[in-house]
Amino acid sequence: MNSSWTREKVLEIYNKPLMELMYEAAQTHRINHNPLEVQVSTLLSIKTGGCPEDCGYCPQAARYHTDIDNNDLMSVSQVKAQALRAKSNGSSRLCMGAAWRNIKDNADFDQVLEMVKTVNGLDMEVCCTLGMMTESQAQKLSDAGLYAYNHNLDTSEEHYKEVISTRGYDDRLKTIENANKAGISVCSGGIIGMGETANDRAGMLTTLANMNPQPKSVPINALVAVEGTPLEDQKVVPIWDMVKMVATARIVMPKAVVRLSAGRTEMSDEGQTLCFLAGASSIFAGDKLLTTPNPDINKDMELFKILGLSPKAPFVDGEKPKTKETAASCMSTKGNVKWSRPAHKIERNEKAKEKAKELRS
Ligand code: SAM
Ligand code: DTB
Ligand code: SF4
């Protein structure tokens, strides 16, 4: 069913007195979910750094000078070992991320398809986040056994122009549509703390909530301000903003899994507890996100114990995908999709790029 949320209505919810907002969100959560279960995912950066894009928040953009180790695409056996480790730590989902602008029909993509098959074979939900994706690429991933695809809107359409100039908002929406067409569960959310207004936050949630179908998973990230990126000086997001964002997402997308994502190292146990109460029902576990730190798994499990929470089993919300033979080789795919490149100037991004050039010379 298509929802028709207006930004004004979503902003009104976001701006409710916090006690009312949390109570309403907690009620919605209990009606639609088991409040004692949390879906636990592990992130794995299968290809790190050297990305051609200019996303102002991202330490993996080649043009900025950040302190990360670049790595080529992992082997299938390396991924399998990491997946088994994640599974033994209680994760039901492995989310593999690549620092790519978009998927290309080449040998690397074939290797990713093998990774997907392998991890699906371990009875884990497999998620990928590989940048922009065509319909045929989505179909190949689906045939290989992909459960979910993560592609974030990041922020409102207006604020997006202040953060990224190398890719357009419409292409993000198209990628999400392509995932849906292939029957892949969509994971899409965004980041707060990038200088956006409450109106921008409401705008992003409105676009997500009006999608048909709504995303099955909505990650809410607090910006991890990494030195060398254009957003390095952004202040840590107040926990109250996280609670408000989680609660609003919960109310406007009642069936979705709302993921308390990046930024948890800056949050107290009590702060995270308020997020769980307000409807967060998933976390990324393990001491690393893609390139930045995340709380230790033992610390997370201690908090789960205190709160009476337990990790959710895989495939509770959807069937395990069956691997189909068509997943074989993608080299034969014809036709290159032209994704957009707005290329407007973002002063902050230009400055960070210049600074990086100076540091390298
Ligand atoms: N390259 C692919 C893409 O951009 O779609 C996939 C990987 S990218 C790192 C996945 C998402 O991570 C981004 O869309 C963004 O929402 C999130 N992200 C990246 N850097 C972040 C940061 N410093 N803080 C919070 N979230 C971040
Ligand atoms: C999402 O929304 N957050 C994750 C996942 N999807 C891919 C990524 C967070 C990355 C934080 C910065 C880093 O570790 O590089
Ligand atoms: Fe590249 Fe993704 Fe980082 Fe943007 S967010 S620079 S596309 S890895």
Q: pLDDT of the chain along its 361 residues, tens only?
A: 678 999 999 999 999 999 999 999 999 999 999 999 999 999 999 999 999 999 999 999 999 999 999 999 999 999 999 999 999 999 999 999 999 999 999 999 999 999 999 999 999 999 999 999 999 999 999 999 999 999 999 999 999 999 999 999 999 999 999 999 999 999 999 999 999 999 999 999 999 999 999 999 999 999 999 999 999 999 999 999 999 999 999 999 999 999 999 999 999 999 999 999 999 999 999 999 999 999 999 999 999 999 999 999 999 999 999 998 764 455 545 456 789 999 999 999 999 999 999 998 8
Alpha-carbon distances, residue 41 vs 94, 145, 191, 211, 311 (angstroms): 6, 17, 18, 24, 10
pTM of the predicted model over 0.95: yes
Token reading at 71: 């790595």
Interval 32-41: pLDDT, tens: 999 999 999 9
187 is catalytic: yes
Angle of helix 297-307 relative to helix 269-277, nearest 10 degrees, comes to 60
Question: Are the beta carbons of 231 and 348 closer than 8 angstroms?
Answer: yes
Start-end of H helices in the chain? 7-14, 18-32, 76-88, 107-120, 135-144, 157-160, 169-181, 198-209, 239-252, 269-277, 297-307, 347-360
- Interior/surface letters 345-358, b for 16+ CB within 10 angstroms, e for the rest: ebebbeebbeebee
What is the pLDDT, as a whole number, of residue 333? 52
Ligand 3, pocket-test mutation among 47, 95, 101, 150, most atoms within 8 A of CB: 101
Domain boundaries, the chain: 7-304
pLDDT in tens, 297-347: 999 999 999 999 999 999 999 999 999 876 445 554 545 678 999 999 999
Arch. (CATH architecture) of 7-304? Alpha-Beta Barrel (3.20)
- How many angstroms separate the alpha carbon of residue 59 from the centre of ligand 1? 9
Q: Are 131 and 103 in contact (CB under 8 A)?
A: yes
Q: How far apart are CA 128 and CA 131, in angstroms?
A: 9
- 189 Cβ inside 6 Å of ligand 2: yes
Catalytic pick among 7, 167, 172, 187: 187
Integer CA distances (angstroms), 31 to 187, 205, 282, in order: 21, 21, 17
The pLDDT assigned to 327 comes to 47
Supply the DSSP symbol for 256: S
